[in-house]
Amino acid sequence: MKLIADSGSTKTDWVVLDGNNEIISFQTEGLNPFFKNSETIYKVLMSVEEIQSYKEKIKAIFFYGAGCSSTEMNNVVYQGLKKAFPQAHVHVKHDLLGASIALCGNQKGICAILGTGSNSCVFDGEKIIEEQVSLGYILGDEGAGTDIGKRLLKDYLYQTMPRHLSQELSTDYHLTKTKILQQIYQSEAPNRYLASFARWVGKRKKNEAYLRNLVEQSFQSFITTHIIKYSDYKQYTFNVVGSVAYHFQEELTKVATQYHLKIGEILQKPIEGLITYHKKN
């Protein structure tokens, strides 16, 4: 049996495969090693009752995760998974590779993640051949939920957003300056807090030009900071996975077209593509 996982900063999708059969699927919180240590990862898995009866039968784990971009960070996840499944061969890889496989299969293309965080690369059908640096929610994450949340909260605190939206936001979240700053600078998951406001934007953007412009500006920042920096970027399709890309695909397509990008796949989750791949490999 194989255990396949796609982990973002907010949630992780898991599937157990037995040959070509999908045995069970479940979801846990995100297991980004920048925010979770090995013991926490182990405890999260041990809390999932449906996986316990398959614990000894799982012989290989393929984990694609946000934050898994260095040997040090990968080892954090590896140790947690190995403790939970001591009989399994554990493979920890970057979520960007998982996204590329899910989006492009064995075809080449520019692949990007726009979820809680953001990332991108050029994929040649087998491996990542070019990649822009990803700086996380404080210095980077352009185009992601965290960036949309930061832009919204800054406009709220600086009182530069339309007054009626400011009042709605305050009512819906019971916001104060102190509460916002505590969540961002003192909570365990500030990136998820910031990204949570993207859902609020998504529910209201249809009738609010200000919100659509805010999202488009975030996407413009992502494309100009990352995508058009790739050599010969116009020759590739532009493929994106993630909740932000999926729910804001109208705005994303509009901005991408302005930069003459050829839109390929836009998917909400990469897990289905990863299932297809690992049934064959």
Look-up of token digits 């593509």: 273
Within a domain: 250 = no
Within a domain: 170 = no
Q: What is the mean pLDDT of residues 54-63?
A: 91
Within a domain: 16 = yes
Within a domain: 93 = yes
Within a domain: 146 = no
**pLDDT of res. 210:** 96
Task: Give CA–CA dist 61/182, Å, rounded.
Answer: 37
Task: Give CA–CA dist 2/249, Å, rounded.
Answer: 33
How many separate domains does the chain show? 1
Element (H, E) at 246: helix 243-247
**pLDDT of res. 65:** 92
**pLDDT of res. 71:** 92
Look-up of token digits 């059969």: 21
Does position 95 have pLDDT exceeding 90, yes or no?
A: no
Within a domain: 72 = yes
Q: What is the CATH number of the domain that holds 18?
A: 3.30.420.40
User: Residue 217 is encoded by which pair of tokens?
Assistant: 């500006």
Residue pLDDT, tens place only, 8-30: 877 899 999 988 888 889 999 99
Domain span at residue 35 reads: 2-98+271-280
User: Residue 51 is encoded by which pair of tokens?
Assistant: 């996986």
Residue pLDDT, tens place only, 249-277: 999 999 999 999 999 989 988 898 899 88
| pLDDT band (50, 70, 90) for residue 170 | very high
Within a domain: 9 = yes
Within a domain: 196 = no
Residue pLDDT, tens place only, 188-209: 789 889 999 999 999 999 999 9
